[in-house]
Amino acid sequence: MTEGQQPRDYDYSPWLFTDRADDAARARQHTYQRSLGGTIGAGCFVSEHASVHPDELRLGDRSYVAAGAYLTGTLRTGRDCSINPYAVVRGDVTLGNAVRIGAHTSILAFNHTMDDPDVEVFRQPLTSKGITIGDDVWIGSHVVVLDGVTVGDRSVLAAGAIVTRDVPAGAVVGGNPARVIRWRVPASRPAGTDLASAGTDLASAVAGFAERARAQADDVLARCWDAGRGLFTDTPGTPPTVRAQCDAIEIADLLLSRAPGQLPAAEQADRLRRWQDPRTGLVGELDERGSPRTPGAGLFDEPAGYHVLSAGYALDLLGSEFPEPIVVVADATAATIVEGLERQPWHTNAWGAGHWVDILGTALHRNARRGIRGPRETVTGWLLMHADPHTGMWGTPAPADGLLQIVNGFYRASRGTFAQWGLPVPYPERVVDTVLRHARDARFFRPEHQNACNVLDVAHPLWLTRAAGYRAGEVTALATRLLRDALGHWTDGAGFGFRAPHPSTRGDRATVPGLQGTEMWLAVIWFLADLAGVAPGLGYRPRGVHRPEPAT
């Protein structure tokens, strides 16, 4: 301790500890941190005069907790975070890097239920959705953040703010309830996420978007047309792909109710039909000359697999079909199918496993339309037996990405089987629970972190299970929030990138508008709009890969 330093100065000004504490103070602090358990990074300080009783505690490097703070539940922080005197942090709370929390602020990630008027509120069960706060967030004194809120990166919560709903990245919010009062990062302002305009008529916003998208649809398609090769590319300057041809057909069908104008519809259909390999029934990826490669044998050649979906449904929209069955599935026995299901990486890559099932289910559907009866009951039986009754899904969550793999894998597996075949999914209420929990993960669902795959893989399962009416209010609220975000991702004249555009991701190829992103986000917007009750304003309904109705 330096000369003149008082014993409790560190408790109320913990930022002094690193530079001024003597060896004895450091040793005492080290011993105290060990007594708390959890994971505490280098250079941290936790006042012994704070009430620290969490179920789980993870403090990133150079983070501190001042005297009088009250911590319970689960707290995970990044580096350089501060919890100043008399702040309250309770429930399931995650802080990013460099989050500074002012004195007397309360971050409350739980709530009392009050469903039964005959039972005193304090005796009724608690609920918890969790609170996630992004990187570089300044939270002033006497702020209250309520359960279920996500606070975006580089935002500011002004002193005294009562934050009851999500805060956009880069915004400065204040008041009760908090609303956007200005932008700390003006370039971060994404359309449709301003809290001050949250009451805007959503139906009008949806209808306005659809009108704009239809007016620009031909420009979106022309931008990705390689006239020299007579083929579509996903984005300008990239090689043509099979999927790009199919995405163009789907976009034109959605927005223009016709085939793309670059070629006659019959010519586009004939080309997709010619590309099918008669030996396997698959369509290989295009080579540098724009000709399909020969697919490998077996279930399934990786580059060719998705084309069972994309090319098959594109042909449907053009009023045609493959000339041959999907031979590799028509020739497969039930035992071969089970062997394929068993060897999928359900516990390490549930999305990849669901991808394989989606292709299999679609191949069985296409063959059934030709009178070739495959072991469909074998597939549904295996999936029913292996669904987790706790999550309603297949596979195992991973520490690195939480529920992402199993939710995305559930969408793919259920889309190609239960949804496509018109069958109810197992454990629909658990599916809703799992999806709503996953949607609170700010790593994937902050507006600036969203991509078409992750949002689609939430929207479709919620739509598929909507008939149960389970947690309907929460589903509608989530759909409304994600829909407002999605409408703001459109780039005039170019469409949607696969990933949402944002200054922090400038230069990421996934944010460049292209055909895949446009096709997927248009479908996402329909599902979200239907969940929010405003789909009629779009004037379109997906009829291809992402069709809502069963295909059978």
Residue 191 CB-density burial (10 A; 0-12 exposed, 13-18 middle, 19+ buried) = middle
| Residue 347 appears among annotated catalytic residues | no
**Which residues, at least 6 apart from 96, have a Cβ–Cβ distance to it below 8 Å?**
78, 133, 134, 135, 136, 137, 153
Catalytic residue among 104, 112, 390, 449: 112
Give Cα 53 distance to the centre of its chain.
Answer: 32
Give Cα 455 distance to the centre of its chain.
Answer: 4
- In the chain, DSSP finds a helix count (H) and a strand count (E) of 19, 21
Whether pTM > 0.85 for this model: the answer is no
What angle separates helix 265-274 from helix 307-317, to the nearest 10 degrees? 150
For residue 106, the model assigns a pLDDT of 96
pLDDT < 50: residue spans in the chain: 1-6, 191-200
Residue-range domains of the chain with CATH: 9-189 (2.160.10.10), 229-331 (no CATH)
Contact 478, 436 (CB under 8 A): yes
For residue 176, the model assigns a pLDDT of 84
For residue 189, the model assigns a pLDDT of 60
3-state DSSP assignment of residue 423:
coil
Contact 40, 60 (CB under 8 A): no
